[in-house]
Amino acid sequence: MTFYMPVKVYDEKNCVLNHAGEIASFGTKALLVTGRSSAKKSGALDDVQNALSRFETSYCLFDEIEENPSVETIWKAYEYAKKEDVDFVIGIGGGSPLDASKAIAFLLDRKDASKEDLYNADLPADALPVIAIPTTCGTGSEVTGVSVLTVHEKKTKVSIPHKIFPKIALVDGKYLKSAPKSMIVSTAIDALAHMIESFESNKADDYSKAAVLEGLKIWGRSKDTLLNGLNEECFGDMMRASTFAGIAIAQTGTSIPHALSYILTYEDKIPHGMACGYFLKGYLQNADPSDRKQILDAAGFQSMEEFSAYMDQIFLDMHVKEETLQRAYEVVSQNKARLKGCRFFVDEEVLKKMVF
């Protein structure tokens, strides 16, 4: 077995300011990569700017990362950062800014970069140093080498082939306080999908499964707050569970629910976490009974029926078009590698049961 997770994780209150010196040590000028608002509203951007200013480290800001960032946006950020002559990158936000920061850092490390380099698997995965600061509790991108981008030509999202791990991750539950409940629910369901999919991967081993089971235990402590009322304790739990989920998928990758989700997100603009979670009931129902029991027990569910009822409440107001489900089924059913990547048998008929 091989376990590779080279990210130093600081999981504590005020960790950005506590480790300002280490953040500043990665270079002389940072590119701060954020979306339009969450980094500002959460206070994370202020913390980073104060940390860098404390050590007189220069920075510039690119705050145009959209949800499910496109290759075109990555290229725009790269061109801006190249003119600014930055030498390290700090991603602040949810999965979109964190994934974007890796792709931008990859391009910035090339002498004569092109858009095509992003998906050229023959190139080495060298990149400028990346620091990751999550403000949502789903992606786990702060501890993975993954960068998923929207490719409009293919009308879907595609991971770049290069594994670019952040140097350090700074995990602080306080950044969830300003997030809308809908975002917290969606990203928390994404973390749940990561853990279930990782556990059911053919690549799962004792190390990745241990991360999943611990993450599920932490996630389960606060699962009821997603239905009832959020509180400060749940913010730390959900953020930490997301990081454990990221550690797991860094080893195994994701599976069928994620593959199906990309069509729902691209075509119907359904938030990523909710799109993944939509398929979890069918996915888990088809898992080996002993695996299913371990997953449910760890997350605090007494039975598959209880899990199904919980997910039905989460998705009470969400409706997916029949034609979108059909399109997702058609795309994934043709991806034989995805179907064979599960620990349990999946053919087109089993997939159909998961989708419909």
pLDDT at residue 234, as a whole number: 95
Rounded distance between C-alpha atoms, residue 44 and residue 88, angstroms: 18
180-355 placed in CATH 3.50.50.60 = no
346/32 Cα distance (integer angstroms): 42
- Given this structure, which CATH class describes domain 8-174? alpha beta
**Distance of CA 34 to CAs 77, 101, 132, 226, Å?**
11, 9, 11, 26
| pLDDT score recorded for residue 232 | 87
Residue pair 219/195 in contact by the 8 Å Cβ criterion:
yes
> pTM score, two decimals?
0.96
- Rounded distance, CA 41 to CA 44, Å? 8
Task: Specify the long-range contacts of residues 151-156, CB closer than 8 Å, at least 24 apart.
Answer: 151/70, 151/71, 152/70, 152/71, 152/72, 155/266, 155/267, 156/262, 156/263, 156/266, 156/331
Residues comprising the chain, all counted = 356
Three-state DSSP state, 159: strand
Instruction: State pLDDT tens for residues 266-292.
Output: 999 999 999 999 999 999 999 999 999
Classify residue 6 by burial, with Cβ atoms within 10 Å: 0-12, 13-18, 19+.
exposed
Consecutive 10-residue averages of pLDDT for the chain (356 residues): 95 98 98 96 98 98 97 98 98 98 98 95 97 98 97 93 98 97 97 98 98 98 96 94 98 97 95 98 97 98 98 95 97 95 96 96
**Domains in the chain: boundaries:** 8-174, 180-355
